[in-house]
A and B are shown apart, each in its own frame.
Chain A
C-alpha cells in the first residue's frame, strides 16, 4: 500500500469518475428538468461506442471517430426525443421506464443483428498508446487523456450553465419547469436540445470508452445503473452535483474494490474474506447511496428548488 500505488488508484478512480460524469450530466438534466426517466441513456452510450469504432476503422483518425460517436448519439437522441420521448413527458414514470426499457432491448438486438455478437475491435490511437511513468509506476497514457477530456467537458458545461442565457434557462428549468414555460420560453425546444446534448455526451463517453472496454451489445446497462447511483447521490437536476458525485463514486468504487477485501482479510479468515470482500466491494457505492438518501434525500449537491 505504497503512496504511488494509492496515487495510481486515485487516478483510476478519477478516470472512472469523469467517464461516469459524461453519462450522468445528460441523465440528470433530463431527469431533473423533464422529470423523465431515461433507461435508454446507456443505449446512446453504446451507439456512440459503435459509431466511433466504425468511424475509426473507416477513417483511421481518432478525432473523426470521436466526432462520429458524438454525432451518431446526437442524431439518434434527437430522433428519439421527437418521435417517442416527447410524447411521454406527461405520462407516469412507470410509462417512461416501460418505454425506455423497450428501447434498450430494441437497440441491443439491433446492434447484434447488424454487427453480430462479436465485440468490435478498437485500437488505442498511436499517440496515446504508451504509458506514463509515475514514480516507478506505469500508467496508460490513454487513461490520462480520458481524465483530461472529461475535466474539459466538465469545465465547459459549468461555463455553459453558469454564464450563458441557455444555461440560465436550464437552471431555471431544473428548479421550476412550469414557471419557465409560463414566462414564454419554448420549453419543448429546450427539452429537445437538452436531450440531444445529453445524448451527445453519452456518445462521447462511449467513443472514449471504446479502446478500453469491449464494444458489444448490452455494454450500456451496467454503466447506466452506476450512473443512476451518481445522479441520486449528486442531486437530481444538478450538473455540478453530477460531477462531484461521479468523482466520489468513481473513487469509492475503485478504492473499495482494492482495499475492502484487504481490510476484511485483517479481521476475518481468508476463505470468508475472499467471499465477502468482492461482494461488499460491489455494494460499496450502493451503501453510499443508501447513506446519502437517509441523511440527505435531495442529494449532496441538489439544484436548489424554490
Chain B
C-alpha cells in the first residue's frame, strides 16, 4: 500500500509538473451535460446543449485552456433517470463539472449525490426554492434563475402599470403554484381569481369562457411548452387577444413562438433573457447561433451559452485544482460576460440579475420581440436569507 501511495504521489507530481509546463495539453476538461433530450420538452434541452456547444466551439474547442470533452446524458425529464445520469458522470466518468441538470424535479432528485461529491454543478434551467434557501450548497449553482424571479418581475410590471384586476392561471403542480405566488409577491392589486388547471391539459375552452366572463383588466399565466401553445392559440381564437392583455412567463419564448406566430402578438413576457436584448455581446451570440442552427436562440440556449463561457473563466481561475473550482465559479459569475447583461451569484449561488419585460409585436410581416421595460434590476430572490453559506 505504501509503495502504491508513493507511486501515485510521484505520478501526480509528475503530471502536475507536466501540466504547469504544457498548459494542460495532457489533460482535458470533462464536462457532463444532463438535459431532457427526448420527449415533449426535448426542445428545451436541445437549446441548452446547442448554446453550450456553440460557446465551446467559439472557444476553440477548449474550456479554461484545456481541450473540452462534453458527455451528453438524456434525463428524459424523469428524476430517477437524471439521478442515474448524474451518478454515472460523477462515479464513472469523473467529470470536472456537470451542466444542465434539467427541470427542478430532476435537479432536486440529484441534489444529495451532487452535494456529497463536491463536483461543481451548473443548473441552466432551474432554481428551486429549497436549493435557494435552507438547502443551498457551496458547489451547486443556478445560472438560469431562481424559479420565482420571472413571475415576480411580471407582478411588479403589472403593479407599475397600474393594473387593477388580474386573473391568474397555471397548471396544478408545484412550479405553477410558485409562479403565482411569485407574481402576488409584487402585485398588490385585486386578484380576481386564481385558476389551476390539469398538467398537460390540451384544451382550455372552459377556462377561457370563465376568464372572459370575469372581465379582468389583465391575465397572468404560466404555461410552459405545449400547454402554452394551446392556451395562447385558443385565447387568440376566442377573440380575446388584443382585448385582454396577456402577461406570461415561460409561455411565449423562443421555443414556442414558431408554433404560435400571429396568436402571440401583443403578449408580454417576463424573462431574464430574450434574443431581442440589444447588447453587443448578445447581438454577436444571436448572429452566431442563427448562422449555425438556423433558428433564433431561446433563453434556454442563452443559459447554455453562458454556462460554457462561465466555466471557461472558472477553470482558468482554479488552475486544475478541483477543490478550488466552486469558489472559482462563484467569483467567475461576476467576471464572465453574460449575454443577458449584468450577472453575479448571490450568497445562495442563485443569480442576481435583471428581469425584463418583452412584448411580441408585428413588424411588417415579421414577428419580433421588443424590450419594453426592466421591472426588476439586479434582483435577488427572497430565499437567500435562509441560506447559511457565507
Contact = CB atoms under 8 A, between A and B. Distances in A.
B117 interface: no
Contacts of A258: 206-207, 209-210
B212 interface: yes
Given A140-B237, A212-B233, A213-B202, A119 B210 contact: no
Contacts of A2: 213
Interface stretch (B64-72, B253-261, B275-283): B253-261
Contacts of B240: 138
Interface stretch (A61-69, A192-200, A273-281): A273-281
Chain B CB within 10 A, most for which of A120, A137, A138: A138
B205 interface: yes
B206 A278 contact: no
B9 interface: no
Chain A CB within 10 A, most for which of B40, B41, B240: B40
B204 to A, nearest CB: 9
A284 to B, nearest CB: 11
B38 interface: yes
Given A118-B258, A121-B259, A142-B237, A278 B197 contact: yes
B265 to A, nearest CB: 14
Contact of B259 (A12, A214, A219): A214
Contacts of A153: none
B196 A5 contact: no
B263 to A, nearest CB: 9
B229 interface: yes
Nearest to B295: A118
A15 B209 CA distance: 14
A120 B229 CA distance: 10
Interface string A110-142: 001000111111011000011100000111101
Contact of B207 (A117, A257, A277): A257
A131 B43 contact: no
A117 B43 contact: yes
Contacts of A261: 195-196
B259 A9 contact: no
A278 B172 contact: yes
Nearest to B180: A274
Chain A contact patch, size range: 35 or more
A217 interface: yes
A212 B237 contact: yes
Chain B CB within 10 A, most for which of A211, A214, A278, A282: A214
Interface in B236-265: 237-240, 255-256, 258-262
Contacts of A282: 172, 198
Contacts of A5: 209-210, 213
A274 B194 contact: yes
A222 B202 contact: yes
A131 B205 contact: no
A292 B255 CA distance: 43
A8 interface: yes
A223 B198 CA distance: 13
A15 B206 CA distance: 11
B39 interface: yes
A138 B213 CA distance: 10
A254 B255 contact: no
Interface in B131-158: none
Contacts of A140: 234, 237-239
Interface in B272-302: none
A117 B40 contact: yes
Given A131-B238, A140-B237, 4 more contacts: A16-B205, A121-B261, A140-B239, A279-B172
